[in-house]
Amino acid sequence: MPVLTNIGVLATCRADGGQGNLHAIPDAAVAWEGPTVAWTGPSTELPERFRSDRTVDAGGRLVVPGLVDCHTHLAFAGWRADEFARRLQGATYQEIARAGGGIMSTVRATRAATFEQLVARCEAHLREMAALGVTTVEAKSGYGLDVDTEVRILEVYRALEERQPVTVVPTYLGAHVVPPEFQQRRGEYVESMCTRVIPEVARRGLARFCDAFLEDTAFGAAEALQYFAAGAHHGLRPKLHADQLTDGHGANLAADVGAMSADHLERVSDRGIQRLAEAGVVAVSLPIATLYLQQPPMPARRLIEAGVPVAVATDFNPGTAPSCHLPFAMTLACTLQRMTPAEVLKGATIVAARAIGEEREAGSIEVGKQADLALIDAADVNEWLYHLRANACLGTWKRGVRIAP
């Protein structure tokens, strides 16, 4: 039976006890049987039956749960480096979107890409993420917008589940932006998502959640409500891109519809924070996007103090967060959002797992859960997130199998 021993700090990240409580075990070991954690505790108490020749010595380092990136736009074609340069010269995200750039330029490239091209790109990204310690990734559609391409992207995610080891949790994001062919007929676009795409996606089991981008360049509250009602009717739970560029009362809407998560929230109001707390909605922070858009950060301290769990994710996408480096996002959550490294680690493990309904399988190191583990070249979480490096992960295990390096 495989065992990791001589762990300096085992951050188990059990859910209870508040965002900053890692339930860490010093001088620890963890043993697993097949895909499942069988034992955790102090090394000196490791039962004889778990002592085996398949032991990995952690060298007194940190071991954490396999990281969970709970918000990515994984499948897309092309990049948008030109826009990056234009934004640096003063163009705003909204201006670029209105001129037909932004999300729409990625939609054009993605519609032109083949299924196999998209799979190959996603596999490369997932390998990069696994090497960083990531073992579960939420992946949104939303760069197709027409029925065929949206379904193709979600089929890419299904194929990835079979072709590589990282868990991919699919989300339908039809309500990302109104495509140009519907620009003068927004209502018809919303109607087509509700009556054609959502039923098809749900019938084929291609997504677990439906997500909408609530913003003045994207969708309004009434449109989002209609979309979420159709999703709920077909068993897709809501998630929401909310209060990113403006306070559009997105947090209130997320609370009203019982969303799994409200994501971004850089501009969330005090009232919105209160509503999220009451409704038990997870707030997902996306500090790479905050950095690239040079925005004020999500008020994570106020959210945590109000009792809202705060997840940390990359928002990996070609426009506003062109990096799938979750540990980089975690360090930014400390420096921009003033979260402690311990709060951030729970935010990228058990809280993130809750944001995508995976908390029974992933996000913490507990007997009976998946043996998803990352061995980190640091003495503890403070040292890890303080000392920003290309990659501090020395080994990643998914369901008990070493997948990197």
Query: Under the rule (CB under 5 A), what is the footprint of Zn ion?
Result: 315
Q: Is 284 helix (H, G, I), strand (E, B) or coil?
A: strand
Element (H, E) at 305: helix 300-305
Phi/psi of residue 132, each to 5°? -90, -5
Instruction: Kindly calculate the radius of gyration of the chain based on its CA atoms and give it in whole angstroms.
Output: 21
Shortest distance, position 173 Cβ to Zn ion, whole Å: 8
Smaller CB distance to Zn ion: residue 315 or 358? 315
Smaller CB distance to Zn ion: residue 210 or 378? 210
Shortest distance, position 93 Cβ to Zn ion, whole Å: 12
Q: Which two tokens stand for residue 198?
A: 């959502």
Asked whether 322 and 367 are in contact (CB, 8 A), the reply is no
- With a CB cutoff of 8 Å and minimum separation 6, the contacts of 275 are 251, 252, 254, 255
Smaller CB distance to Zn ion: residue 160 or 321? 321
Element (H, E) at 61: none
Report which of 348, 266, 253, 257 is spatially closest to residue 309, judged by C-alpha positions. 348
Shortest distance, position 283 Cβ to Zn ion, whole Å: 14
Q: How far is CA 221 from the centre of its chain?
A: 23
Smaller CB distance to Zn ion: residue 244 or 370? 244
Smaller CB distance to Zn ion: residue 282 or 378? 282
Smaller CB distance to Zn ion: residue 223 or 315? 315
Shortest distance, position 71 Cβ to Zn ion, whole Å: 6
Smaller CB distance to Zn ion: residue 213 or 384? 213
Smaller CB distance to Zn ion: residue 131 or 293? 293
Shortest distance, position 6 Cβ to Zn ion, whole Å: 39
Q: What is the residue-wise DSSP string for 141-195?
A: --S--SHHHHHHHHHHHHHHHHHSSSEEEEEEEEETS--GGGTT-HHHHHHHIII
Strands (E), 307-392: 310-312, 373-376
Phi/psi of residue 368, each to 5°? 100, -20
Shortest distance, position 212 Cβ to Zn ion, whole Å: 11
Shortest distance, position 136 Cβ to Zn ion, whole Å: 17
- Within a 13 Å sphere around the CA of 171, how many CA atoms are in the beta-carbon half? 30
Shortest distance, position 167 Cβ to Zn ion, whole Å: 19
Q: Which two tokens stand for residue 98?
A: 């209105």
For residue 366, what are the CA distances in angstroms to 188, 215, 369? 48, 39, 6
Smaller CB distance to Zn ion: residue 151 or 289? 289
Q: Is 388 helix (H, G, I), strand (E, B) or coil?
A: coil
Shortest distance, position 289 Cβ to Zn ion, whole Å: 7
Asked whether 362 and 136 are in contact (CB, 8 A), the reply is yes
- C-alpha–C-alpha distance, residues 405 and 400, integer Å: 14
Closest residue to Zn ion, Cβ-based? 315
